[in-house]
């Protein structure tokens, strides 16, 4: 696979890559069934559903506002949860990926 990064979600089993990476991907030799050459983690959609309470706990314990997924257009650019926060973030993520399987 080289430098192509393909991701797989441990919760929903969705496999994806960025649109940029997809342009150079050898789809014919991709082995999605066996999940080889895939970096496993959690997709932003599942992160929102599965980890929201943990994010709120983290924010509260660090003295931050428990704002995760409670409003759109977060202005806190340094927040590590911003890439998965709110429906707008999910729409931007979906627009930048190609789903390869599930």
E strand or H helix at 39, and its extent?
Answer: strand 39-41
Q: Is the dihedral of CA 54, 5, 101, 10 positive or negative?
A: negative
87, with CB counted inside 10 A (0-12, 13-18, 19+), is exposed
For residue 35, the model assigns a pLDDT of 67
**Does residue 74 contact residue 83 with C-beta atoms inside 8 Å?**
no
Query: Residue 99: pLDDT band by 50, 70, 90 thresholds?
Result: very high
**Does residue 12 contact residue 50 with C-beta atoms inside 8 Å?**
no
Q: What is the pLDDT of residues 54-79, one digit of tens each?
A: 999 999 998 888 889 888 877 778 88
The two beta strands, 15-18 and 7-9, are: antiparallel
Of the candidates 64, 72, 75, 76, the one whose C-alpha atom is nearest the C-alpha of residue 92 is: 72
């Amino acid at each position: 696979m080289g430098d192509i990064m393909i991701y797989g979600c441990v919760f929903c089993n969705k496999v994806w890559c960025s649109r940029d990476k997809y342009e150079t991907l050898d789809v014919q030799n991709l082995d999605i069934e066996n999940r080889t050459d895939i970096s496993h983690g959690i997709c932003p959609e599942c992160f929102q559903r599965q980890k929201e309470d943990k994010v709120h706990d983290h924010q509260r314990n660090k003295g931050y506002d428990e704002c995760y997924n409670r409003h759109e257009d977060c202005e806190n650019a340094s927040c590590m949860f911003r890439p998965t926060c709110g429906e707008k973030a999910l729409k931007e993520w979906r627009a930048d990926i190609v789903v390869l399987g599930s």
